[in-house]
């Protein structure tokens, strides 16, 4: 029986799915002609990844793909968002496709369709071919955008007869900032003032990808995936201006060019000394119509005025803020230290309704890492991840409140289907609906996976107890 809080059911065509990314789950970094990516190189640098871990094996998904599709089917999900490894398809980032690489994704798509699962294919989830990085500097170069377009064309020509939902790029902000500003992600560059240039080149890649999808998969739905992290003043009354500019730096720097055809004015003025050369057709191309906007949401940031930060004059505490898992200062936090803040999802969806023309939004990532314990008793092993169930329930209810207020949301994907390689954090954080025992590669559906299966199956938010018998 649904209590009042579970509200009305979701629309019958609302998509409940789960998401992953190639480098985080596939393993087999050089199998069957695949070229190395910037991540295959970055993880081998001393200190790059906690514990020196790499994605060399990850969830061994390249070899266990059919079993993982069977898991998605067992969960009864409507859709599955995965990413395609650019260097698995185009080993050097230039030239003809690697047939064995394309064949893997073709088999994945066929397996998903046979299971009645709708494939959502992400063309770029940060794994630039290493050869392209070394040849032209990757996204430091404007040329990377058209090279990405050529790669996208190879994939869409091959899979476009069956894949009807395409994502061009995943999280331009994270790749630009962590990969090129802080250097904490691949390609590991610490060039803060390259940020606007790299961002512009990734958005040009989005534009090139959309053009090739329109040309070679007419009728398919396509759009970008943008991270969105609401920013609030650390000290109300003092840090409003800092929060305003931080919001432009983190969120509006992608939303505005894609949906309004312009960059945020105050940020562009602050960074004018480093703003990239733009061609007249750049922003019209970047703002060409999309069929949906993918939004990844986890938590909020807090910004504070900081005159020591050149040009920008603000700093953010960071989603983790160094908080321990559990409770900190009255806030619930995840194993990443991120504040549990479901209201932020409702707020950002209403902002899309009110400030960006209420485009069709798909929540393409939402989820949480918590410390999971496996109960191994006389019965079957079990992961009673109640905190993840409560997290998902609260964020899904927040999304539903926004929808009931007119926000145009067409789907929700949990990050992630599987525990996987969490970039610089390695394998310690577990985000999966399904636990992966990395030594044996055994998969175990967690209680949260069972809860989510009940939601996907009924289109109504189940009570935690109901699904966890
Ligand atoms: C991201 C990436 C994912 C992460 C997930 C948890 O949003 O950073 O798309 O690859 O693993 O978000 O941090």
CA of 394 to the centre of ligand 1 (A): 20
pLDDT-flagged residues of the chain (< 50): 1-4
**Residue nearest to ligand 1 atom 13, measured at CA:** 422
281 is known as an active-site residue: no
Our answer on whether the CB atom of 419 is closer than 6 Å to any ligand 1 atom is no
Our answer on whether the CB atom of 21 is closer than 6 Å to any ligand 1 atom is yes
DSSP per-residue string spanning 132-152: HHHHH-GGGSTHHHHHHHHHH
The rounded Cα 57 to chain-centroid distance in angstroms is: 21
Q: Which tens digits make up the pLDDT trace of 5-36?
A: 556 899 999 999 999 999 999 999 999 999 99
Cα 77 from Cα 118, distance rounded (Å): 9
Which one of 25, 176, 365 would you pick to mutate in the ligand 1 pocket, going by the greatest count of ligand atoms within 8 A of its CB?
365
Cα 460 from Cα 298, distance rounded (Å): 22
Cα 407 from Cα 392, distance rounded (Å): 19
H/E element, 174 = helix 172-180
Cα 436 from Cα 434, distance rounded (Å): 7
Our answer on whether the CB atom of 122 is closer than 6 Å to any ligand 1 atom is no
Q: Which tens digits make up the pLDDT trace of 425-462?
A: 999 999 999 999 999 999 999 999 999 999 999 999 98
Structure tokens at 466: 């109901």
Domains within the chain, CATH numbers bracketed: 3-467 (3.20.20.80)
Q: Residue 147 region, left (φ>0) first, then alpha (ψ -120 to 50), else beta?
A: alpha
Pairing type for strands 301-305 and 314-316 reads antiparallel
The pLDDT of residue 329: 73
Task: Give per-residue burial for 453-466: e unless 16+ CB within 10 Å, then b.
Answer: bbbbeeeebbbeee
Residue among 171, 325, 390, 422 flagged as catalytic? 171
Cα 51 from Cα 72, distance rounded (Å): 30
The pLDDT of residue 8: 81
Smallest CA-to-CA distance from 369 within 405, 332, 337 is with 337
End-to-end Cα spacing for the chain: 14
The pLDDT of residue 431: 98
Query: Beta strands of 55-188 (E only): which ranges?
Result: 79-83, 118-124, 165-170
The pLDDT of residue 327: 81
The pLDDT of residue 3: 43
Residue among 53, 325, 365, 422 flagged as catalytic? 365
Our answer on whether the CB atom of 171 is closer than 6 Å to any ligand 1 atom is yes
Cα 208 from Cα 149, distance rounded (Å): 5
Which one of 123, 175, 296, 418 would you pick to mutate in the ligand 1 pocket, going by the greatest count of ligand atoms within 8 A of its CB?
296
Sequence-distant (≥ 6) Cβ neighbours of residue 125 within 8 angstroms: 21, 22, 23, 83, 170
Phi/psi at 188 (nearest 5 deg)?
75, 30
Residue with tokens 């400030």: 355
Cα 334 from Cα 464, distance rounded (Å): 18
The pLDDT of residue 60: 98
171 is known as an active-site residue: yes
């Amino acid at each position: 029986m649904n209590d009042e809080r579970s509200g009305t059911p979701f629309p019958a065509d609302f998509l409940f799915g789960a998401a992953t990314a190639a480098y985080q789950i596939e393993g087999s970094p050089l199998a069957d002609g695949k070229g190395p990516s910037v991540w295959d190189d970055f993880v081998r640098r001393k200190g790059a990844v906690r514990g020196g871990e790499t994605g060399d094996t990850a969830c061994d998904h390249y070899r266990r793909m059919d079993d993982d599709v069977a898991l998605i089917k067992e969960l009864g999900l409507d859709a599955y968002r995965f990413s395609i490894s650019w260097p698995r398809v185009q080993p050097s980032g230039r030239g003809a496709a690697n047939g064995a690489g394309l064949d893997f994704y073709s088999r994945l798509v066929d397996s998903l369709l046979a299971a009645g699962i709708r494939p959502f294919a992400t063309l770029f989830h940060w794994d630039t071919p290493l050869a392209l990085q070394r040849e032209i500097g990757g996204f430091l170069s404007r040329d990377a955008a058209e090279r990405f377009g050529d790669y996208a064309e190879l994939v869409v020509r091959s899979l476009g007869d069956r894949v009807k939902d395409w994502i061009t790029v995943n999280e331009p902000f994270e790749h630009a900032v962590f990969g090129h500003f802080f250097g904490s992600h691949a390609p590991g560059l610490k060039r803060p003032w390259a940020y606007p240039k790299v961002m512009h080149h990734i958005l040009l890649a989005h534009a090139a990808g959309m053009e090739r999808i329109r040309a070679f998969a007419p009728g398919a739905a396509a759009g970008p995936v943008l991270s969105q992290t609401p920013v609030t003043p650390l000290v109300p009354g003092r840090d409003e201006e800092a929060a305003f500019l931080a919001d432009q730096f983190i969120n509006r720097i992608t939303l505005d060019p894609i949906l309004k055809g312009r960059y945020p004015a105050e940020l562009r003025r602050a960074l004018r000394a480093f703003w990239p050369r733009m061609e007249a057709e750049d922003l019209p191309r970047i703002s060409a119509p999309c069929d949906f906007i993918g939004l990844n949401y986890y938590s909020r940031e807090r910004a504070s005025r900081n005159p020591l930060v050149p040009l920008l004059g603000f700093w953010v505490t960071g989603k983790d803020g160094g908080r321990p898992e559990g409770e900190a200062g009255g806030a619930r936090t995840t194993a990443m230290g991120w504040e549990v803040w479901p209201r932020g999802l409702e707020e950002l969806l209403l902002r899309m309704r009110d400030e960006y023309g209420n485009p069709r939004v798909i929540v393409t990532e939402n989820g949480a890492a918590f410390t999971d314990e496996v109960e191994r008793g006389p019965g079957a092993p079990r992961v009673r991840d109640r905190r993840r169930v409560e997290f998902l329930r609260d964020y899904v209810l927040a999304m539903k409140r926004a929808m009931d207020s007119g926000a145009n949301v067409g789907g929700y994907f949990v990050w992630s289907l599987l525990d996987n390689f969490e970039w610089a954090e390695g394998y310690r954080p577990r985000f999966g609906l399904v636990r992966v025992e990395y030594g044996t590669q055994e998969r175990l559906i967690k209680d949260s996976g069972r809860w989510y299966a009940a939601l996907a199956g009924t289109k109504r938010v189940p009570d935690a107890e109901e699904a966890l018998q």
